[in-house]
Chains A and B, each alone.
Chain A
Amino acid sequence: MIGGLFIYNHKGEVLISRVYRDDIGRNAVDAFRVNVIHARQQVRSPVTNIARTSFFHVKRSNIWLAAVTKQNVNATMVFEFLYKMCDVMSAYFGKISEENVKNNFVLIYELLDEILDFGYPQNSETGALKTFITQQGIKSQHHSKEEQSQITSQVTGQIGWRREGIKYRRNELFLDVLESVNLLMSPQGQVLSAHVSGRVVMKSYLSGMPECKFGMNDKIVIDKQGKGGSSEDGAKSGKQSIAIDDCTFHQCVRLSKFDSERSISFIPPDGDYELMRYRTTKDIILPFRVIPLVREVGRTKLEVKVVIKSNFKSSLLAQKIEVRIPTPLNTSGVQLICMKGKAKYKASENAIVWKVKRMAGMKESQISAEIELLPNDKKKWARPPISMNFEVPFAPSGLKVRYLKVFEPKLNYSDHDVIKWVRYIGRSGIYETRC
């Protein structure tokens, strides 16, 4: 189990130090600083073993979070906890920065006491935590006795993530499908690797203790239904179904039901939460195609032409498009011509950055650049890939929400009374094309 948890700033100064177990001494704090933060070579592994002690770290902007243990713990559990810890902190005070950590150190210690007990992770649900760990310390004293007992029963009860007696005038539900699409493509347009990692994020304002059921075009479910119905129907719906490689759920989802029936049913927490995460690798819709053309003219000149083609319904609009074309290290000057958007040579990043605000589907646009070089015969340019950022209003994996049903047997509102909002956002992850 986790023996201790430290937070450092970028210089390696300790901001937060919480030790849970006796086997972790004070010197562990320094050991991590010396061997990881100040290491000669950059430490790339998130797990470091120093003198039979394991350090698991994540980095958020300039802040290092390190969990320490002497035991053989489940590393994924530790990282899951660290990420959860980051979520909780950002839910409480926004961005995790040195200043914010310093300003909220009492709160952080309070949170650490609550979510980690003797090194064992406890309830880390932001919604639940916010009911009894508040930012203004005085406020908590105004809890009435009933409220306090309610909190106790919630936290210790079976459904720790939702308290009873929630009431809303309007029962609303927001569902976002957020996907990031990763791609590596050869210069000839061959897909070398591609996958989508997606999240279903929900925000629910529902009264009482509602029972929800979520349905999507999961291939296994569709096929199962297809067997029951007519074969024609199955073939038709089979086209639209997607194969999910793996997925994880929020703790509110009943896993036993998912295992047996593959249906996702749950009692939702109040407010924001992430219902599931998933990953797909088949039949991915690639929103953009990048076609690079690089020509070396002599030793001192390079001509680059990049064409991007949008590959989705022309009624949809992609946003925040940014193409990053790396330039050789001996670049001495760049001339740019682009039809759309703005392009600039950023010397500090050794790249040409081309930004386009909006672009409709089934269009194409191009940029051409002339790069002047200083003659240098020692090192050959490695030609790093061209990368791209964008945001599109659909799910590149092809995921569709088929239904989200809400049942509340005790209170008298039905599925139809709930206002539901569904949104798809596809973003670029690491979206690269070799040139």
Chain B
Amino acid sequence: MPAVSKGDGMRGLAVFISDIRNCKSKEAEIKRINKELANIRSKFKGDKALDGYSKKKYVCKLLFIFLLGHDIDFGHMEAVNLLSSNKYTEKQIGYLFISVLVNSNSELIRLINNAIKNDLSSRNPTFMCLALHCIANVGSREMAEAFASEIPRILVAGDTMDSVKQSAALCLLRLYKTSPDLVMMGEWTSRVVHLLNDQHMGVVTAAISLITCLSQKNPDEFKTCVSLAVSRLSRIVSSASTDLQDYTYYFVPAPWLSCKLLRLLQCYPPPEDGAVKGRLVECLETILNKAQEPPKSKKVQHSNAKNAILFEAISLIIHYDSEPNLLVRACNQLGQFLQHRETNLRYLALESMCTLASSEFSHEAVKTHIETVINALKTERDVSVRQRAADLLYAMCDRSNAKQIVAEMLSYLETADYSIREEMVLKVAILAEKYAVDYSWYVDTILNLIRIAGDYVSEEVWYRVIQIVINRDDVQGYAAKTVFEALQAPACHENMVKVGGYILGEFGNLIAGDPRSSPLVQFNLLHSKFHLCSVPTRALLLSAYIKFINLFPETKATIQEVLRCDSQIRNSDVELQQRAVEYLKLSSIASTDVLATVLEEMPPFPERESSILAKLKKKKGPGAVSVTELEDNKREGGELNGEGDRGPDPAAMASSNASTPSPSADLLGIRSAAPVGAAPTSVGSLLVDVFSEAGPAAPSAAVNDDGFLSSASPSEDPAPPLSEADELLNKFVCKNNGVLFENQLLQIGIKSEYRQNLGRMYLFYGNKTSVQFASFTTTVSCPGELQSQLNASDQTSGTTGRGWSPDPTGTQHRVLTDFSDAPLLNIKFRYGGALQNLTLKLPVTINKFFQPTEMTSHDFFQRWKQLSQPQQEAQKIFKANHSMDTEVLKAKLLGLGTALLDDVDPNSENYVCAGVIQTKGQQVGCLLRLEPNGQAQMYRLTLRCSKDSVSRRLCELLAEQF
């Protein structure tokens, strides 16, 4: 760079800046700037051309004003002019202005690009560098578009100077990062790799950054760089500290380059070529050896540089994970760092060890440092280091040291920093579960956990305890006893009360033999905590009470008394009040047998991945975990892994007990646990139904009065292919709601409503598996001529693949004219990788658009006679398929949509109906007569409609129904 001569000092600029600095107030500053701006404007406007020096000076002033935070909207032209100057300083200022103030002003960009192109093609290296720096500094898409093809050429050209190559490499890196799609790979890529062999270390350092970035995207194209990098590395590592002169930093040869080389190697698997690999291993050994040597300098820079290489080498060793010898050496080296004075080193050592612990070769070696790590957890002053120590303990834990580690983590939890407590709790819970040898230890640990850090124990943790206790018979008695003891503490955490309530409610009988924990004592203990708890806990306790009534009939009077008192039965909280009322009623009405069935012990849970683990994974997600994120995690976690971790809700308790425990019945998931055909109704209404008049004897029949269940039973047969769709269709001729389809994976519920010539249909998709369906799509189509007869529009409002879709798909139909076919529903989704494709007929039949018409006997027969043309009548005599019960028939005919007319036909056995079908264009009147013959089990169905096609179609449809 040419030295700045005295004439370039720009006195005017210095004076202006000192004026601004001396301004006493903001107002004075603004006045000075306004004055200067006016001066510059008049200068730029002036007729006589400015010389390069003053142009530069004024552009500098403008730049300074801009950097102070004022708007600059002129002077761009002058700056662009400076670009074409031949003086370095003027060009430099021009480029500076452009890179700071560039905006996508179309005409200027063209000029700027032109100037940059000129400079790039000039032979002057300083000008080329300036241009490259400008491109990199702006780094916009426009720049990339203009120069992305040019720069690689400069980079690999044989006659390019080293300094230009350096700049070109970094410039290309920048452009690749901003718009990777514009940087085309070509033959230059192979030549870029050979830059690793360049004489000039600066070029190598710049090139390696570029290569690392490029090879992450296209590893195959840069494969050759591995051997080059290894040889380069070995040359550096084996060189004496003085060999590299400028690139030796505090006695360490080229530390930045070494780190970058090691990082580049981490993008690739271990080299296959034995020689290369041997050389690399040699390098890594040398690096590890050097770490052992006494430092050549006491300066912190020396050790920093050395350690940087060492850590990079260790992460490469961990990345390869194939050299047991190196891994153990790395581990020992890190072990030394664990006790280093430098906090940063301890942090890095703990962090690297975490990854080492997961390698099978070094796991044992890591375990030897357990005492040091535990010590670090206890004594470190910096919370982030303690966090790493906790991570490492978690990583190094296995069956052999689980008890020790869990105990240490538990004892640390009492003093742990608030920010890491929740994570610690999750970790303890997972370790305790994962490495539990006997489950009494597990129960002890978790109860301890709740006692020590109850506030940080999330829902998942205690759900998990309950799942495990319920699934393991051997631990139930012990759990009940321990919980009972824990609850005797004068102050215990609400989560403890929840666990206690649940476990005693289920297994209180196992410890009831002991007079110290007799049923009444248990109840009183639980109830003494009742008033201190929040509403959800109270609700849970109420359910525990009703379970007590079942377990211990002797407590019935006491508990009923409690339920009956005003604070329960008239509680302001609807949920509590409802539970109190219903449980009270249930306990007083139902017989002991019924009670025993309803309040049976919970069935075991299906084994699956611990929900806590999922939560921890979530928590460890990218970025800092903010409070809101945590909340989100909780929610998402709940939805993802628990099929709705709703907690051991008494509703779920009751419902899953009341119904036949299906395999998917789940303590925690009302949404999926609800038995066959349960509609996504609220918990409340489900409860109402369970205890409604249908009685607990047949609770499942009363789940929904939409008739869901009555239709659910026939549809339990295996998944019908398309050929059976017609049969399905017929089920819906007389009703609007029900289960359309069901197989092992999927259940589709339907709900529809019709008004005049419009119909709306809601489809509820229920996922019966525990996995999420991928790419779940549905389409509704009208085949063939139906298209002209019926408008079916699909209004998919987002279908979730799991559980009941909260927003059902809606389809809307508009009848244009009468029709006979049905629209098709096509469902596609992926389950376990396999594409599932289903096509169903939507139950839209012509009779759905009936409007009932009431008329007298006289009117009816008058119209009947009017429709006397032979085409208008359709008649069919057929055998009864179903019972000929009067009420059933009446219901079916009403479901058809027509008006059932009494006292019309002289024969009271016969049924007579009338209705009008509304289509867009016209109305079709319909009269129907059904004459059953009880003895012969036959029907005669006669239909007369104003349109012949309608009567035929209706006749076909109806014949299937009776």
Interface residues, chain A, with chain B CB atoms under 8 Å away: 10, 62, 329-333, 347-350, 372, 374, 376, 378-379
Contacting pair A330 B74 (CB below 8 A): yes
Closest Cβ neighbor of A61 among chain B residues: B25
Interface residues of B (CB under 8 A from A): 24-25, 31-32, 34-35, 37-39, 41-42, 44-45, 73-74
Residue of A nearest to B33 (CB): A348
Q: Are A348 and B42 in contact (CB under 8 A)?
A: no
CB-CB nearest in chain B for A62: B25
- With A347-B34, A347-B35, A349-B31 given, is the CB distance from A379 to B42 under 8 Å? no
- Whether the pair A379, B34 counts as a contact (CB closer than 8 A) is no
Q: Which of B24, B25, B34, B73 contacts A348 (CB 8 A)?
A: B34
What are the 10 closest A-B residue pairs judged by CB atoms, nearest first? Answer: A347-B38, A332-B45, A348-B31, A348-B35, A332-B41, A347-B35, A348-B34, A332-B42, A333-B42, A374-B74
A330 touches B34 (CB 8 A): no
> Given the known A-B contacts A349-B34, A350-B34, are A330 and B39 also in contact in the complex, defined by CB atoms under 8 Å?
no
Partner of A347, one of B25, B39, B44: B39
- Bound: A134/B32 CA distance, A: 42
Report the Cα distance A331→B37, complex, angstroms: 9
Closest to B32 in A: A348
- For A378, the chain B residues whose CB sits under 8 A away are 73
In whole angstroms, what is the CA distance A62 to B25 when docked?
Answer: 8
| Chain B residue with the shortest CB-CB distance to A350 | B34
How far is B44's CA from A10's CA once the two chains are assembled, in angstroms? 36
- B residues near A379, Cβ cutoff 8 Å: 73
Q: How far apart are the CA atoms of A204 and B225 in the complex, in Å?
A: 99
17 A-B Cβ contacts within 8 A? A10-B25, A62-B24, A62-B25, A330-B74, A331-B38, A331-B41, A332-B44, A333-B41, A347-B37, A348-B35, A350-B34, A350-B38, A374-B44, A374-B45, A374-B74, A378-B73, A379-B73
Residues of B within 8 A of A62 (CB): 24-25
* Chain B residues near A348 (CB-CB < 8 A): 31-32, 34-35, 38
Query: How far, in whole Å, are A122 and B31 apart by their CA atoms in the complex?
Result: 42
Q: Could you list 17 further interchain pairs (A-B, Cβ under 8 angstroms) beyond the known A62-B25, A331-B38, A332-B38?
A: A329-B37, A330-B73, A330-B74, A332-B42, A333-B41, A333-B45, A347-B35, A347-B37, A348-B31, A348-B32, A348-B34, A348-B35, A349-B34, A372-B45, A374-B41, A374-B44, A374-B74
Give the distance in Å from the alpha carbon of A374 to the alpha carbon of B37 in the complex.
12
Question: Interface of chain A, helix or strand or loop or mixed?
Answer: loop
Once A10-B24, A10-B25, A62-B25 are accepted as A-B contacts, the answer to whether A376 and B73 lie under 8 Å apart by CB is yes
* Nearest CB in chain A: distance from B927 CB, A: 76
What is the CB-to-nearest-CB distance from B741 to chain A, in angstroms, rounded to a whole number? 61
Q: How far is the CA of A372 from the CA of B47 in the complex (A)?
A: 12
- CB-CB under 8 A from A347, the residues of chain B are 34-35, 37-39
Question: In the complex, how many angstroms separate the beta carbon of B680 from the nearest chain A beta carbon?
Answer: 46
Question: Min CB distance, A222 to chain B, in Å?
Answer: 47
Give A42's nearest chain B residue, CB to CB.
Answer: B26
- List, in ascending order, chain A residues with CB within 8 A of B25's CB: 10, 62
Contacts of A372 in B (CB 8 A): 45
Residue of A nearest to B75 (CB): A374
Residue of A nearest to B43 (CB): A332
B489 to chain A, nearest CB (A): 40
Name the residue of chain B whose CB is nearest to the CB of A376.
B73
A148 to chain B, nearest CB (A): 45
Give chain A nearest CB distance to B33 CB in angstroms: 8
- List B contacts of A330 (CB < 8 A): 41, 73-74
Chain A residues near B42 (CB, 8 Å)? 332-333
CA separation between A347 and B33, bound complex, in Å?
9
By a CB distance below 8 angstroms, the chain B residues around A331 are 38, 41
Residues in A with CB closer than 8 Å to B74 are 330, 374, 376
Q: With the chains together, A348 CA to B36 CA distance in Å?
A: 8
Bound CA–CA A376/B44 (angstroms)? 13
Which residue, of B25, B32, B38, has the highest number of chain A Cβ atoms within 10 A? Answer: B38
User: Within the assembled complex, what's the spacing in Å between the Cα atoms of A237 and B703?
Assistant: 92
Task: Say how far A274's CB is from chain B's closest CB, in angstroms.
Answer: 29
In whole angstroms, what is the CA distance A376 to B39 when docked?
Answer: 17
Chain A hits for B73, CB < 8 A: 329-330, 376, 378-379
- With a CB–CB cut-off of 8 A, which chain B residues contact A333? 41-42, 45
CA distance A365 to B74 in the complex (A): 36
